[in-house]
Amino acid sequence: MRVTHCPRNQSGSIPFMIVTSIIKFFRAMATGWRYKVCLVGSGNWGSAMARIVGDNVKKFDEFDDRVPMWVFEEMVDGRKLTDIINKEHENVKYLKGYKIPENVVAVADLLEAVKRANILIFVMPHQFVKGVCEKIRDHLEPDAFAVSLIKGIDSSKKGLVLTSTVIRETLGGVDCSVLMGANLATEVASKQFCESTLGCTHPQHGEVLRKLLHSSFFRVGVCTDACTVELCGALKNVVAVGAGICDGLGYGSNTKAAVMRIGLKEMMSVTKELFNGGHESTFFESCGIADLITTCYAGRNRKIAEAFVKSGKSFEELEDELLNGQKLQGPSTAAELHLLLKERGLVEKYPLFTAVYSVCYNGLPPDKFFENI
């Protein structure tokens, strides 16, 4: 299995990007041209970000005020979810109680939503990204670029791939940044102060995206170590399953702290060893240690792992029962990672990742988890 490495800036690329940005600037000045933004996804995290994006596009002249948000159509109490969002300006299924700006428009037709968009914000379960990208790749603007808010990794015949790589390659080379951090959707929606990390290799796109996503309560820092930023967002979900097992067994803070320390160490090691990334300082940004702490105490992967231990039900059953249409990432990421570690002969070097996989897929009893880490 081949590891797909992070993209790196190629020699001579920055001057070209600067020229492109200058052209866009003068075109905007002369014609009133603006970036058109589309939110590709509308779950709780997508709806929370819609509140920020919808407000920010109205603050800056370089953005078009109207923001289409692609919504996978569902019926809620006999009404279409898109109709509810557009009339009541609230996603009553996935983010109830929080208003979405009126300039964010719910659109059920995917191709209509991305029409003429220059900036695509992907925020959906990672399992569906490739299929969505295949549908839209022939319908994008030539200068379109993207940012992924999706915390997951995937596999293909090429090997283990990052979600941003799936987006980039499926869309024919579209530049894709990533946004990761300690960002629980309901807390962001309620405007509680937090931080997030924008990983990008294209400086001008990073400037534009920060302006689009940053707010007084949602502080966005920019990092060029985009691969590590994204890996942190995916790998911490595996550690969170371990934290949930700890909670399900009734263990306390000492034990959970040990799980988190071991998990962080394995996250840092696997990133440096198997991927072309891994600046140590990146792990101390919001995408790293902060997101790990939040996820291990309050994330959905921790929650479902705890219920798995206590109830004896499968992860699939608990996902259906407790997540209201949201998807788990921890178990599937553990499975993808295990395939890679096994092929490289590194399973024993990563006991926590391996123990999480064994509980999820190999029938390891949860009460034997700590004997294996």
Residue with tokens 């009133």: 32
Catalytic, 58? Answer: no
How far is residue 115 from each of residues 137, 185, 315, 327, measured CA to CA in Å? 11, 27, 37, 27
259/278 Cα distance (integer angstroms): 21
Counting Cα atoms < 13 Å in the Cβ hemisphere of 160 gives 28
With b for 16 or more beta-carbon neighbours within 10 A and e for fewer, the 81-107 pattern comes to bbebbbeebebebbbeebebbebbbbb
Q: By C-alpha distance, which of 201, 202, 247, 209 is closest to 228?
A: 201
13/1 Cα distance (integer angstroms): 30
Catalytic residue, candidates 130, 236, 313, 349: 236
Beta sheet of 145-148, edge-to-edge order = 104-107, 67-70, 37-40, 119-122, 145-148, 176-180, 194-199, 218-223
Q: In three state form, how does the secondary structure of 290-347 look? A: HHHHHHHHHCHHHHHHHHHHHHCCCHHHHHHHHCCCCCCCHHHHHHHHHHHHHHCCCH
Residues annotated catalytic, as ranges: 236
